[in-house]
Amino acid sequence: MAGGKLSPRQKMINMMYLVLMALLALNVSKEILKSFHLFEQSFNNAAINIDAKNKATIDALQKSSDEKPLKTKPYIERARKTQKIANDFVKYVNNLITTTESLYGGEEARNEEGEMLAADQMEKHANYFVNEGHGIEFRDRINKAREDMLNILKPDPLDTLYNIETNEVYEEALASCQLWAKEPSSGKGNWVSQNLEHVPAAGLMAVLSRIKNDAKSLEANVLEKLASRVDATDYKFDKLEAKVLAKSNYVMQGESYEADILIVASDSKSDPQITVDGTSINVEGGVGKYTQTAGGIGIKTFAGKIIVNGPEGPQEFEFTDEFTVFKPAATIAATEMNLLYKGIDNPMSISVPGFAASEVRISAPGLNLKSLGGGKYNAKVPSSTSRSVTITASISKDGKSKVVGSQKFRVRSLPQPRAQLGGIPNDGLPKGKASVSAQTSIIASMGAGFAYNLNYRVQGFKLIMAYKRKPPVIAASNSGALTARMRSLVKSAKKGDRILIEGIRAKEAKYGFKSNLSPIIITIK
Q: Which pLDDT value is given to residue 468?
A: 87
* Per-residue confidence band for 337, with pLDDT thresholds at 50, 70 and 90: low
Q: Which pLDDT value is given to residue 271?
A: 67
Q: Which pLDDT value is given to residue 269?
A: 61
| Number of other CB atoms surrounding residue 58 within 10 Å | 18
Alpha-carbon dihedral angle through residues 71, 74, 77, 80, given to the nearest 10 degrees? -90
Is residue 205 within 8 Å of residue 100, measured between CB atoms?
Answer: yes
Helix, strand, or coil here: 110? strand
In this predicted structure, the answer to whether residue 368 has a pLDDT above a threshold of 70 is: yes
Burial, 106: exposed, middle or buried (Cβ in 10 Å; 0-12, 13-18, 19+)?
exposed
Selected residue with higher pLDDT from 36 and 208: 208
Q: How much is the average pLDDT of 101-127? A: 84
Q: Which pLDDT value is given to residue 81?
A: 96
* Per-residue confidence band for 252, with pLDDT thresholds at 50, 70 and 90: very low
Q: Which pLDDT value is given to residue 375?
A: 81
- Helix H, strand E, coil C: the string for 395-425 is EEECCEEEEEEEEEEEEECCCCCEEEECCEC
**Mean of all residue pLDDT scores within the chain:** 83
* Per-residue confidence band for 355, with pLDDT thresholds at 50, 70 and 90: low
Phi, psi (rounded to 5 degrees) for 155: -60, 150
Selected residue with higher pLDDT from 50 and 107: 50
Helix, strand, or coil here: 504? strand
Q: How much is the average pLDDT of 179-208? A: 85
Ramachandran region of residue 158, left (φ > 0), alpha (ψ -120 to 50) or beta?
A: alpha
SS3 content of the chain, % helix, strand, coil (to 5): 35, 30, 35
Helix, strand, or coil here: 116? strand
* Per-residue confidence band for 255, with pLDDT thresholds at 50, 70 and 90: low
Q: Which pLDDT value is given to residue 13?
A: 45
Least-confidence region, from 95-109, 151-165, 256-270, 274-288: 256-270
In this predicted structure, the answer to whether residue 248 has a pLDDT above a threshold of 90 is: no
Residue type, 234: D
Q: What distances in angstroms separate CA 57 from CA 75, 86, 150, 164, one per listed residue?
A: 12, 15, 17, 18
CA 80 to chain centre: 23
Contacts of residue 422, Cβ cutoff 8 Å, sequence gap at least 6? 438, 439, 440, 441, 442, 443
Q: Which pLDDT value is given to residue 432?
A: 92
pLDDT digit string, tens, across residues 231-242:
654 434 444 567
Number of alpha helices (DSSP H) and beta strands (DSSP E) in the chain: 10, 24
Q: Which pLDDT value is given to residue 325?
A: 65
Is residue 153 within 8 Å of residue 173, measured between CB atoms?
Answer: yes
Cβ-count burial 419-434 (b if 16+ within 10 Å, e if not): bbbeebebeeeebebe
* Per-residue confidence band for 74, with pLDDT thresholds at 50, 70 and 90: very high
Q: Which pLDDT value is given to residue 143?
A: 94
Q: How much is the average pLDDT of 18-27? A: 44
* Per-residue confidence band for 139, with pLDDT thresholds at 50, 70 and 90: very high
d(CA 464, CA 490): 10
Q: Which pLDDT value is given to residue 324?
A: 65
Helix, strand, or coil here: 458? strand
Half-sphere exposure of 315 (CA within 13 A, CB side): 12
In this predicted structure, the answer to whether residue 75 has a pLDDT above a threshold of 70 is: yes
Percent of the chain with pLDDT over 90: 36
In this predicted structure, the answer to whether residue 424 has a pLDDT above a threshold of 70 is: yes
Choose among 453, 463, 514, 523: nearest CA to 495: 523
Considering 129-138, 256-265, 308-317, the range whose residues carry the highest mean pLDDT is 129-138
pLDDT digit string, tens, across residues 391-420:
898 877 667 778 878 888 888 888 889 999
Burial, 57: exposed, middle or buried (Cβ in 10 Å; 0-12, 13-18, 19+)?
buried
d(CA 60, CA 80): 13
pLDDT digit string, tens, across residues 437-462:
999 999 998 887 787 888 999 999 99
